[in-house]
Structure 1
Amino acid sequence: MAGLYLEDFTPGQVFHHPLRKTVTESDNMLFSVMTLNPQPLHIDFEFAKKSEWGKPLVNSLFTLGLMIGISVHDTTLGTTIANLGMTETVFPHPLFHGDTLRVETEVKGVRESRSKPDRGIVDFEHRAFNQADVLVARCLRQAMIVKRPA
């Protein structure tokens, strides 16, 4: 199992995830269609030409999911019990078709569960950057993680 146990996380620890993804038009269209999101800013090139950006934006929820997904292999693969929530999610700059996303994750806090001795909660801050190192997404996430088996 590649995921880390609760005891393996320490506040201040930073993961620079080696996995990167260049986002395609197909990724954006498929995600928007699968989630029934008809926002023309994501799927209509003619509409998007008249926008501030002049081209379609990648769906921000796809960006969020990709950012967290990229982090999984190095952090929580097989050791997550549940995501407990995401807060302070921001998208300070849009992601566009053809942009390559890289992600880093910082452990902000670690604590044992008060009610279940086999697990605990890790507070993560995920940050995603495009190929020009511009921050395109950030969120704080709490995940319930198993402790190392006895």
Structure 2
Amino acid sequence: MAGVWFDDMHVGQRFEHAIRRTVTETDNVLFTTLSHNPAALHLDAEYMAGTDYGRILVNSCFTLSLMVGVSVGDTTLGTAIANLGWDEVRFPAPVFIGDTLNMVTEVIDLRDSKSRPEAGIVTFRHEAWNQHGTLVATCKRSGLQKRKPA
């Protein structure tokens, strides 16, 4: 177990994740094709060369998955019961092949579970920043988290 118990979390707690990740073309192509997304903006370099971006954009759903996935080891590994929802998902700047992303997670709300006394509900704000210090993704995520065993 590497995650944090609900009882050990506090509002304002920040996790600056040590894992940084450079996004590869393989990441983007594999994620995009496995999710059956045929969009040219993720797969067609010649088409994208003629756009304002001038190059392929990384699939934003991959960016979201990576941003949240990196947080698991520090926050919820072995202590999560369920993901309850996503809110305010935003991509304020594009991610390109070769960008290296740094992720930060903050606890922004904690409350008791009304249906499960052995758990609480935690809300996280996740952020992803590229190597230039530009915020590229953010979201709020709520989950059902285990309390410490008695």
TM-score, L = length of structure 1: 0.99
Hey, what does 1:4 align to over in structure 2?
A: 4
Per the TM alignment, residue 123 of structure 1 is displaced from its structure 2 partner at its CA by: 0.5
Hey, what does 2:146 align to over in structure 1?
A: 146
**Distance (Å, rounded) in 2 between the aligned partners of 1:50 and 1:120:** 50
Hey, what does 1:103 align to over in structure 2?
A: 103
**Distance (Å, rounded) in 1 between the aligned partners of 2:41 and 2:11:** 38
Hey, what does 1:120 align to over in structure 2?
A: 120
**Aligned residue pairs: how many?**
150
**5+ residue gaps, structure 2:** none
Hey, what does 1:67 align to over in structure 2?
A: 67
| AA at the equivalent of 1:15 | F
Tell me the SS of whatever aligns to 1:32. helix
| AA at the equivalent of 1:3 | G
State yes or no: 1:21 paired with 2:21.
Answer: yes
**5+ residue gaps, structure 1:** none
Hey, what does 1:89 align to over in structure 2?
A: 89
Hey, what does 1:136 align to over in structure 2?
A: 136
Query: Percent identical across equivalent pairs?
Result: 52
| AA at the equivalent of 2:119 | R
**Distance (Å, rounded) in 1 between the aligned partners of 2:74 and 2:109:** 17
Q: CA RMSD in A?
A: 0.6
**Distance (Å, rounded) in 2 between the aligned partners of 1:60 and 1:23:** 12
**Distance (Å, rounded) in 1 between the aligned partners of 2:77 and 2:57:** 29
Per the TM alignment, residue 91 of structure 1 is displaced from its structure 2 partner at its CA by: 0.2
Per the TM alignment, residue 37 of structure 1 is displaced from its structure 2 partner at its CA by: 0.3
**Distance (Å, rounded) in 1 between the aligned partners of 2:38 and 2:80:** 32
Tell me the SS of whatever aligns to 2:83. strand
**Distance (Å, rounded) in 1 between the aligned partners of 2:77 and 2:115:** 23
- Which aligned runs of 4 or more in structure 1 are off by greater than 6 angstroms? none
Per the TM alignment, residue 52 of structure 1 is displaced from its structure 2 partner at its CA by: 1.4
| AA at the equivalent of 1:34 | L
Tell me the SS of whatever aligns to 2:47. helix
Matches within 5 A, 1:43-58: 43-58=43-58
Per the TM alignment, residue 69 of structure 1 is displaced from its structure 2 partner at its CA by: 0.4
**Distance (Å, rounded) in 2 between the aligned partners of 1:51 and 1:3:** 43
Per the TM alignment, residue 137 of structure 1 is displaced from its structure 2 partner at its CA by: 0.1
